[in-house]
Structures are given as structure tokens and as C-alpha cells.
């Protein structure tokens, strides 16, 4: 898992060639590495935007406004869930539980930065802040 995280941090996603290189390095079957890549949705199996926004879609977040947050975010950015903006800056994805159910609804930015108690205003501020960081 650490190897996959490093590859993703460096390349933005885990290519099949990377899986094979990791398998070779660890002395494992390539299928064993691919099983890990495909089991956890934190690993990108295709290119994503500069900022990947994972909105939790599990039950506690679902009952605390997660679906509305996902809808607001997708509407603001003009993408469908799992879509990437035309400029390649943002990818929005529904996610499995992010382990912060008490802060529902939550979102994770680039697998690193947790955003708690998301409201439409907080989402708007976050997106604008990330856009400014991109410029
Ligand atoms: S259900 Fe959303 S963080 Fe656990």
C-alpha cells in the first residue's frame, strides 16, 4: 500500500505499468498488487484532476447532508460524480467512509486534507481557495 501511495503521489494515478513495477520490486504477482489498487477507492486507476475531492457517501454522512454536498459540488463545478472539470483542475468522487463520521458530512481533498461539517458556503470557499492556489 505504501508503494501505491508513493506512485500515486508522484504520478497522480496508478498505471498498470506501475503495478507491474511494484509487483516486481516486492516479488509479488502483478494481480496481487492490482487487487489492492482496485479494492481501495483512494487509489486512482485513471488520471484525475489536480484536486481530487472525495465526498463521503456512506450512511452517517448520507443522513447528514452528504448527497446534497455532492450535488452542490458537482453543480458548482459542472461535472457528474466521478467527473473531472474540462480544465483538469477538479475531480469529484463519491467515497466510502472516510473515518470521520462524527464530523459528517465530510470530504477529503487529494487523499490528505479532511473537510468536516461541509455546508454549501464551506464548499464554495474551499473551491475558490483551491482555484486561487492553482493560479
Ligand atoms: S460515513 Fe462519512 S466519514 Fe464515515
Per-residue pLDDT tens digits for 78-133: 999 999 999 999 999 999 999 999 999 999 999 889 999 999 999 999 999 999 98
3-state secondary structure of 107: strand
The verdict on 64 and 85 lying in the same domain is yes
* H/E run at residue 47: none
Which ligand 1 atom is the nearest neighbour of the CA of 57? 2
User: Do 71 and 7 share a structural domain?
Assistant: no
- What is the distance of C-alpha 59 from the center of its chain? 18
Predicted structure pTM score: 0.87
Residues 96 and 128 in one domain: yes
**Ligand 1 close to Cβ of residue 60 (< 6 A):** yes
Dist. CA 126 → ligand 1 center (Å): 19
Query: And the C-alpha cell for 129?
Result: 481557495
Amino acid at each position: 500500500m505504501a508503494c501505491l501511495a508513493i506512485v500515486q503521489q508522484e504520478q497522480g494515478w496508478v498505471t498498470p505499468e506501475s503495478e507491474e513495477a511494484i509487483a516486481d520490486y516486492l516479488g509479488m504477482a502483478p494481480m496481487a498488487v492490482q487487487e489492492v489498487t482496485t479494492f481501495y477507492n483512494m487509489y486512482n486507476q485513471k488520471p484525475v484532476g489536480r484536486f481530487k475531492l472525495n465526498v463521503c457517501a456512506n450512511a452517517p454522512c448520507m443522513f447528514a447532508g452528504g448527497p446534497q454536498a455532492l450535488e452542490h459540488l458537482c453543480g458548482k463545478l459542472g461535472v457528474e460524480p466521478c467527473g473531472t472539470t474540462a480544465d483538469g483542475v477538479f475531480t469529484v468522487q463519491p467515497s466510502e467512509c472516510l473515518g470521520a463520521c462524527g464530523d459528517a458530512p465530510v470530504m477529503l481533498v487529494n487523499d490528505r486534507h479532511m473537510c468536516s461539517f461541509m455546508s454549501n458556503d464551506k464548499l464554495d470557499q474551499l473551491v475558490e481557495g483551491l482555484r486561487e492556489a492553482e493560479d
